[in-house]
Chain A
């Protein structure tokens, strides 16, 4: 059995998952901190 489709699949799902989680966390944090800052003004 050719293992490369499984290897590429494993790397793709990991990279997409981790990049997606990082970006989502970053955007949520920036939005929440901006809201808190706006409310203080």
Chain B
């Protein structure tokens, strides 16, 4: 990762990558959501409501993936002092928070026709709500640190400690009684209980949203680096 420690080298790669990730993501999202809405069959138990899962599940994966990215960036910042790690953490936080909010909203909209309620204080939903609060806390802490001109160490420690919520979200359906179903998709040989006609639109949608998430993070990293450059020059001019 230290190959990209030089911002100029990073920007050289990030500029074309932003476009390719954005366009690839948009195409896959259109394919996944179009198939999810119009081609895939309804579920024998959930009926038509299953179509909401083509947006809800990718949002949930990216909400958790986003914080995993923040934790890795925080580790890289604290241990290896990677110069772009703090920038990456700050860039991930807002899209991560928005995908967490989307996960909660679409989950509520799925819950009403399926379970008969918008909200239930079960382990999975409560831990996802805590994740949203963690994102908001991280954003506030990072912004306060930036205004103070700090190195972002406290923000990085918060990012690392907040990662404890990720396994709690993941295993909440096994540890506590929950309305949520257990795992339906497995990549580790256990086999997936979801039918192929529903699996491929879900995977296309998840991959598409992931690529777009990557493009958004790169755009935000480029904006933060440009802003840092402007601030540094203004300081030099003022001195």
Q: Quick check: B219 and A13 within 8 Å, CB to CB?
A: no
Contacts of B59 in A (CB 8 A): 14
Q: Report the bound CA distance from A40 to B224 in whole Å.
A: 17
Partner of B47, one of A3, A11, A21, A33: A3
Q: Quick check: B219 and A11 within 8 Å, CB to CB?
A: no
Do A36 and B230 contact each other (CB < 8 Å), given the known contacts A3-B48, A28-B219? yes
Mask, A1-30, CB within 8 Å of B = 1, is 111101101110111011001100110110
Contacts of B95 in A (CB 8 A): 21, 25
| Number of B positions contacting A (CB below 8 A) | 38
B105 at the interface (CB under 8 A from A): yes
Q: Quick check: B215 and A10 within 8 Å, CB to CB?
A: no
Contacts of A33 in B (CB 8 A): 222-223, 226
Q: Quick check: A26 and B48 within 8 Å, CB to CB?
A: no
Do A21 and B226 contact each other (CB < 8 Å), given the known contacts A7-B52, A11-B33? no
Contacts of B109 in A (CB 8 A): 6-7, 9-10, 13
B113 at the interface (CB under 8 A from A): yes
Q: Quick check: A26 and B219 within 8 Å, CB to CB?
A: yes
Do A32 and B33 contact each other (CB < 8 Å), given the known contacts A14-B102, A21-B98, A22-B216? no
Q: Smallest CB-CB separation from B56: which chain A residue?
A: A10
Partner of B22, one of A15, A22, A39: A22
B180 at the interface (CB under 8 A from A): no
Q: Report the bound CA distance from A23 to B170 in whole Å.
A: 31
Partner of B212, one of A18, A28, A35: A18
14 cross-chain CB contacts under 8 A: A3-B47, A3-B48, A6-B110, A7-B52, A9-B109, A10-B52, A10-B106, A13-B102, A14-B55, A15-B33, A17-B102, A29-B223, A35-B230, A39-B229
The 8 closest A-B CB pairs, nearest first, are: A32-B226, A25-B219, A36-B226, A29-B223, A32-B223, A14-B55, A3-B113, A10-B106
Known A-B contacts: A11-B37, A21-B95, A21-B216. Give 8 more (CB < 8 A).
A3-B49, A6-B112, A7-B109, A10-B110, A18-B209, A33-B222, A33-B223, A36-B229
Interface residues, chain B, with chain A CB atoms under 8 Å away:
22, 29, 33, 37, 47-49, 51-52, 55-56, 59, 94-95, 98, 101-102, 105-106, 109-110, 112-113, 209, 212, 215-216, 219-220, 222-224, 226-227, 229-230, 233-234
